[in-house]
Amino acid sequence: MTTNRFDTNQAEPTRAETRRVTPAVDIYENQAGFLILADLPGVEPSGLNVEFNPPELRVRAQSTGLSYERRFELGSGVDPTTTSAELKNGVLRIELKKSEAVRPRRIEVRAS
């Protein structure tokens, strides 16, 4: 078995040492809307800030010694009133619904 050295020898982080981090994200789409997942390890719900000022969606978060930030531009196809955000195990999940105008519609075909 090989053993590793530790990657960092952490001292108590101070405010001056806050490191800016671009979190890794996944972006998914289905017929109803979009789903964004972002890795934000160490972030508490109180340290998270998700703002949607159309067309910009901005995610900012703080954890000890780290500051995460990422911005997205959303088109008018997103209904700004239907955004939801949830943080679990350091992963942020944002769901956005498409506005009615761009949602595909199912048309019932009846036998005549």
Partner 1 sequence: MLTRWNDFGRLGRLMNREQPEPVEAFDLLRREMNRLFFDFENGGISEEDFERGFPRVGLEDKGSTLVVRADVPGLGEKDVELTLDSSTLTIKGQRSDETPEGYSAHRKERRAYRFSRSFQLPTKVDTEKTEAVIKNGVLTVTLHKAQEAQPRQVTVRAS
Binding site for partner 1 (CB under 8 A): 1-12, 19, 21-31, 34-35, 37-44, 63, 68, 70-78, 87, 89-91, 98-99, 101-102, 104
DSSP state of 5: -
Nearest-approach distance from CB 112 to partner 1, in angstroms: 25
Nearest-approach distance from CB 111 to partner 1, in angstroms: 25
Residue 74 corresponds to which amino acid? L
Choice between 14 and 112, CB closer to partner 1: 14
Choice between 27 and 49, CB closer to partner 1: 27
Count CB-CB contacts under 10 A for residue 111.
Answer: 3
Nearest-approach distance from CB 8 to partner 1, in angstroms: 4
Choice between 46 and 112, CB closer to partner 1: 46
DSSP secondary structure letters along 56-99: EEEEEEEETTEEEEEEEE--TTB-GGG-EEEEETTEEEEEEEBP
Residue 107 corresponds to which amino acid? I
Q: Report d(CA 82, CA 78) in Å as an integer.
A: 8
Nearest-approach distance from CB 105 to partner 1, in angstroms: 10
CB 23, CB 50: distance < 8 Å:
no
Choice between 20 and 111, CB closer to partner 1: 20
